[in-house]
Amino acid sequence: MSPKAPITQDVMTIPRKLPEGKINLVGLTRDQLREVLIENGTPEKQAKMRTGQIWQWIYQWGVRDFAEMTNLAKAYRAQLAETFVIEIPEVVTRQVSEDGTRKYLCRIAGGHEVEVVYIPEEDRGTLCISSQVGCTLTCSFCHTGTQKLVRNLTAAEIVGQVMMARDDLEEWPVPGAPKDETRLLSNIVLMGMGEPLYNFDNVRDAMKIAMDPEGISLSRRRITLSTSGVVPEIARTAEEIGCLLAISFHATTDETRDVLVPINKRWNIEELLQALASYPKASNSERITFEYVMLDGVNDSDEDAHRLIDHIKRHNIPAKINLIPFNEWPGAPYKRSSNNRIRAFANIIYQAGYASPIRKTRGEDIMAACGQLKSATERARKSRKQIEAEAGLQS
Ligand code: SAH
Ligand code: SF4
């Protein structure tokens, strides 16, 4: 056991059996899929081939109905339909921002909701997906961190967000049609709700599916996992997922980081930097992104910029620094740094030889910006309470 226990425990798991007794095939690894097919009557000799066929139908062609799996015998299709389903989160609402950003609210088992954001850019499109409902961590600038309700998403619910977006973007290929190389959904960032490294296995399985060449086939270099700094899981991320890494750094002294990113009390800046310095995949072509939210008067001084560079240089970490203008939310205890301050900060970093892009805030008009995600049910509940209070209806 690690001498330091995690700051939080993982939360309830969802049984694979769905209420009506059927098994969802989405989110299973290839091995699990094969196993579940055998358990439910597929002859062992055929299982490998059937796994490959069904896998392709689900992840390459986006098929949800066994009846459409035309290279399988009709009787076998019917047998599959009796036992299994191909189920992904259900879209409850979809909002489209003036700038083209799309925010989806999706319902998952148990009536919980998660938000998924699609950000189109000129040469690519990024889907920001969630790994948990809410988050057990309580970063003081993050809206998700104020949400009480927390549950881990299953692998099906995580990869299901990608499938849902492909549905909406109408991006499943049509059999026989020429392959279109320009993808609307070309990148995934695990930067929605939740701490992905507190739901490691499900995130790994889901991303493995997204990367599988016989399916959604996104390159591992187009997937970025953002963590607040769950140090013991960082090396595993490289080994078992192999994606790019982003770190919610946000402060340059332990004193400030303890407040902004309280997981820092478990694993402080030095421990975090050491884990990053030995991140197996880090190289000049695969730099680690340091995310740094710009909070007026809190972490945005010139000294902070210099300290940030010192940390990175001292540990020789191939890095780029992504400056995020703070996205304010109702009741937030911080203000966004001024544009001049952000530019001055960026300039110090740039002069030191590091890329320091300032993240464009997208989808602000639909509350889709980074760190603003929070379940709408909770918001609705709160506002209903407020309404009741105003009307003098509360007991
Ligand atoms: N839990 C993970 C991933 C989700 S948060 C993590 O913390 O890294 C994705 C990014 O949004 C993180 O860098 C987070 O610090 C940042 N963020 C959270 N709230 C924000 C806000 N209000 N404004 C700007 N960025 C925010
Ligand atoms: Fe959780 Fe990340 Fe928000 Fe912190 S910043 S509360 S880790 S989602």
Ligand 1 centre from 191 Cα, in Å?
Answer: 7
Instruction: Label residue 196 left, alpha or beta by phi (over 0 means left) and psi (-120 to 50 means alpha).
Output: alpha
Are 32 and 167 part of one and the same domain?
A: no
C-alpha of 7 from chain center? 20
Q: What pLDDT shows up at residue 357?
A: 92
Least confident of 45-49, 180-184, 215-219, 295-299: 180-184
Are 119 and 53 part of one and the same domain?
A: no
CA distance 1 to 232: 11
Task: Give the percent of the chain with pLDDT over 90.
Answer: 69
Beta-carbon contacts of 207 under 8 Å, excluding residues fewer than 6 positions away, are 158, 159, 188, 190, 223, 225, 241, 243
Catalytic residues: 115, 370
Are 302 and 360 part of one and the same domain?
A: yes
16 in any annotated domain: no
Q: What pLDDT shows up at residue 9?
A: 38
Total domains in the chain come to 2
Least confident of 100-114, 125-139, 257-271, 335-349: 100-114
Of 85, 111, 133, the last residue of a domain is: 85
Mean pLDDT for the chain?
87
Of 38, 56, 85, the last residue of a domain is: 85
Q: Residue 13's pLDDT band (boundaries 50, 70, 90)?
A: very low
Are 121 and 204 part of one and the same domain?
A: yes
Q: Give 23's strand partners.
A: 17, 84
Identify the residue whose tokens are 């998952």.
Answer: 108
- Per-residue pLDDT for 390 more than 70? no
Number of alpha carbons in the 13 Å side-chain half-sphere of residue 329: 18
Residue pair 302/345 in contact by the 8 Å Cβ criterion: yes
The enclosing domain of 35 has a CATH number of 1.10.150.530
Cβ of 299 less than 6 Å from ligand 1: no
| Enclosing domain of residue 71 | 23-85
Q: What pLDDT shows up at residue 372?
A: 56
- Per-residue pLDDT for 384 more than 50? no
**Mean pLDDT score, 170-184:** 77
Are 80 and 151 part of one and the same domain?
A: no
Q: What pLDDT shows up at residue 283?
A: 75
Of 64, 85, 106, the last residue of a domain is: 85
CA distance 239 to 242: 6
Cβ of 321 less than 6 Å from ligand 1: no
C-alpha of 95 from chain center? 19
Q: What pLDDT shows up at residue 182?
A: 74
Question: Which atom of ligand 2 has the smallest separation from the CA of 136?
Answer: 1
**Mean pLDDT score, 205-223:** 96
Least confident of 22-31, 54-63, 96-105, 143-152: 143-152
207 in any annotated domain: yes
Selection from 97-111, 146-160, 196-210 with the highest mean pLDDT: 196-210
Number of alpha carbons in the 13 Å side-chain half-sphere of residue 80: 27
Q: Residue 366's pLDDT band (boundaries 50, 70, 90)?
A: low
- Per-residue pLDDT for 377 more than 70? no
The larger pLDDT score, comparing residue 20 to residue 383, is at 20
pLDDT tens digits, residue range 233-277? Answer: 999 999 999 999 999 999 999 999 999 999 999 999 999 999 999
Are 56 and 122 part of one and the same domain?
A: no
Ligand approaching nearest to the C-alpha of 145: 2
Among 136, 151, 248, 326, residue to substitute to test ligand 2 (most atoms within 8 Å of Cβ): 248
The enclosing domain of 208 has a CATH number of 3.20.20.70
Number of alpha carbons in the 13 Å side-chain half-sphere of residue 180: 12
Q: What pLDDT shows up at residue 351?
A: 97
